Structure 1
Amino acid sequence: MDSKYTPELEKIEAVLSAYLPENPGPAWIAGVFPGLPGTVSADLVKSLTLPGWDLLSRGGKRWRPLLTTLVCKSLGGGDAALVLTPLVEFPHNASLIHDDIEDNSDERRGKPAAHILYGTDTAINGGCFLYFLPLSCIDSWDAPMELKNRVYRLWGEYMRRLHLGQAMDISWHRDFASLPGLEEYELMCRLKTGCLAGLAAVLGVYGAAAGKGIRVEEIEPWSARLGDAAEKLGVGFQILDDVKNLSTGNPGKKRGDDIVEGKKSLPVLLYLHQHQGARDLVARCFTAARAAGVGAPEVEELIAELDRSGSLGEAKSRGLALIAGARETFAMEGAREGGQGLLELIDSIS
């Protein structure tokens, strides 16, 4: 991430660390588990928090919480949305922990996946905890109850959508015979990836509303417009991420591991829909890769064919077009405080 965002990112990291510390102490435990009868050892609590803390400590792009803070600033709310940033970053990392289990991945951000280090049972429980932990941020948010209740409701809506998108993705890669249409694929991406980007933008709007004392009814147009644009931004990001997996490779992951997983990403779907005989080739390469891993020669064979056919290039163009459309919507907010930084963040994603 560009160094211009360092001050903002440092604030975000401080909030994330406060709500998910490396070593949870008595005050943190009492705050997260109020009214708990008896005492719970810090070591026991740490076994719950460690998978999530470990993954966050490895870094990550943090563009979703940064989007929240920059949207808030661009609407004149200053740092009022900072406390809400865990609502997008914690669930994102929770989904990565569960993704790695569901996909049988052994590596994340350059290190062993959480379930490899801590066991599948602890990783599942720690991932689930990361979905619910950020609700404590809403409790401590200095905002009218009307806004708090609305954000509680939004969180529930977006978490349900996130899991529905994951269900679609799982069903497709488990059954090779299923061939989703391109509209179905985009819906899956909007649910699985776009929804957290949408939530990030919406939280920025609500943070600004709290900071400026604006009522819910007055901010709904901003919320709907920017939330939709951010969802498209998230879809574009996902498409470009999938293209990178099949070209340069993603940082901290192995090039082509989506083929091992049998993932029907956009480049693969474009190839399947547009080329005669593609099904046989993709099925053969997926099967060989699942059996032998990323070292199977069929991984590189399929990547070369996706590149030769133009499917990789077309997918990249579609991703860039979605990001450009989202940028245009955000640009309509003008060059207010933080507005230029917001547009530059979008440019960095592409």
Structure 2
Amino acid sequence: MQAAYIQRLQKIEAVLEAWLPTEPSQEWIKNVFGTLTEKDIPAGLVQSLTRPGKDLLERGGKRWRPLLMTLICESLGGKEEALPLVPLVEFPHNGSLIHDDIEDNSDERRGKPAIHILYGLDTGVNSGSFLYFLPLACLAAWEAPDSRKLQVMQCWAEHLRRIHLGQAMDIYWHRDFSSLPSEALYEQMCRLKTGVLARLAAELGVYAAANRVTFPPEQSEHALRTAFGEAAESLGVGFQILDDVKNLTTGNPGKKRGDDIVEGKKSLPIILYLQEDPRRIEFVKRCFSAARAGGTAVPEVEELIGELDATGVIERARKRGYQLIHNAIETYKKEQSPLIQDEEAHHLLIEMVSLLG
């Protein structure tokens, strides 16, 4: 099974390389920027735009969203029809990471200096935004009817707007130490900020499959996209919750344990901790303030983590994350069973989702 994943991930990387190459060719420049030629663009200018995003991609990343999309498409009989759409999911994800690090004043991403630290704030903002719009070039090149391209573009654009709304919610809460969202609002923020790209991946997988196969009348394409999309959205929320738990326990790869406290992030453990006793808000605010001023090295970071662990809220959050991922697994097992045309891809899909937990 490991070889099956590697084979698919290699194809995903090849598509990403084609649309964000190390050395952009004249053909690439024409496909992305239209009639501009090397005479219109000074040497090295294009790389100044593409290199920061390429740097972030080269640092790694799980690529589970494009893998989810391609496996859904394969499971439904679409074979590799979704591969050309990989940039629509992975490029905006990386663009959002660049912008997220700027907005959170983070200094590290995937084990190296954050993009805006390495290349400058202005270049970071510009290159991050470029990663949102570059995928439209690959959509234009996709061999599909214009009507289906329009559907995919509308789906993509709606989800890109939603991810910015989710980020706005996150910024609003972490700027004000006194504000405390409810557990339901926190999950809604996660659905918009993190779950939205997983949902986009799942829906694009169905769109791509439908470009090659015809679903039976009793199972409409819209209903299938909704079921798969909602499950993927829950998967994304579960993944985010577990990511927040890791930040307070083992630490996330390429980041520092307690970074979320420095950012003043209202993660699920913090919300559960304060819901149990709202009077704890002054203690949390003191720890957040000290962390923002002194970073993860200040004693208040470990003091707060110790309190969260002792009250059991970290474990409660972990269980909620696992529950959401389990729910997604059950949906993919149930919803796909009558429509499966590729049993290997279906098995790989279920296994991959399980491994995220």
Q: CA deviation at 1:281?
A: 1.4
User: How far apart, CA to CA, are the structure 2 residues paired with 1:97 and 1:204?
Assistant: 26
Partner of 1:344: 351
Distance 2:182 2:191 in 1: 14
Tell me what 2:203 maps to.
202
Tell me how far apart the structure 1 counterparts of residues 234 and 74 of structure 2 sit (CA, whole Å).
21
Letter in 1 for 2:228: L
Contact 1:12 1:65 in 2 (8 A): yes
C-alpha displacement at 1:39, in angstroms?
A: 1.9
One-letter amino acid matched to 1:257: D
The one-letter amino acid paired with 2:29 is I
Given residue 317 of structure 1, which amino acid in structure 2 is its aligned partner? K
Letter in 2 for 1:236: G
CA distance in structure 2 between the aligned counterparts of 1:325 and 1:21, rounded to whole angstroms: 38
| Cα distance between partner residues in 1 of 2:79 and 2:24 | 29
Cross-structure match for 2:277: 275
Q: Alignment partner of 1:340: what SS? A: helix
Q: Which amino acid aligns with 2:289?
A: T
1:166-199: CA deviations, max 9, x gaps? Answer: 0000000001111111111111000000000000
* Counterpart-to-counterpart distance in 2, 1:44 and 1:214: 47
Displacement after TM superposition at 1:278 (Å)? 1.5
The aligned residue for residue 260 of structure 2 is: 258
Task: Tell me the percent identity.
Answer: 60
Question: After the TM superposition, which residues 102-113 of structure 1 pair with which residues of structure 2 at under 5 Å, given as runs?
Answer: 102-113=103-114
Q: Distance in 2 between matches of 1:180 and 1:74?
A: 38
Contact 1:233 1:322 in 2 (8 A): yes
- In structure 1, which of residues 222, 227, 230 is the aligned counterpart of residue 229 of structure 2? 227
CA contact (8 A) 1:25 1:42 kept: no
Question: Which amino acid in 2 is paired with 1:202?
Answer: E
TM-score of the pair, normalised by structure 2 = 0.95
Where 1:50 maps in the other structure, the secondary structure is helix
Among candidates 235, 248, 251, match of residue 249 of structure 1: 251
Give the corresponding residue for 2:22: 22
Q: CA deviation at 1:132?
A: 0.3
What is the aligned-residue RMSD (CA, Å)? 1.7
* Residue identity matched to 1:266: L
TM-score scaled to structure 1, two decimals?
Answer: 0.97
Give the superposition deviation at 1:276.
4.7
SS at match of 2:296: coil
Give a deviation string over 1:107-152, Cα, whole Å, max 9, x none: 1000011011100000100000000000111111111111110001
> Any conservation in 1 of the 2:198–2:235 contact (CA below 8 Å)?
yes
Letter in 2 for 1:191: L
User: Contact 2:73–2:79 at 8 Å: present in 1 too?
Assistant: yes
5+ unaligned residues in a row in structure 1: which ranges? none
Kindly state the Cα deviation for residue 40 of structure 1 after the two structures are TM-superposed.
1.2
Report the AA paired with residue 249 of structure 1: G
The one-letter amino acid paired with 1:348 is L
- How far off its partner does 1:279 sit? 0.6
1:68 counterpart residue number:
69
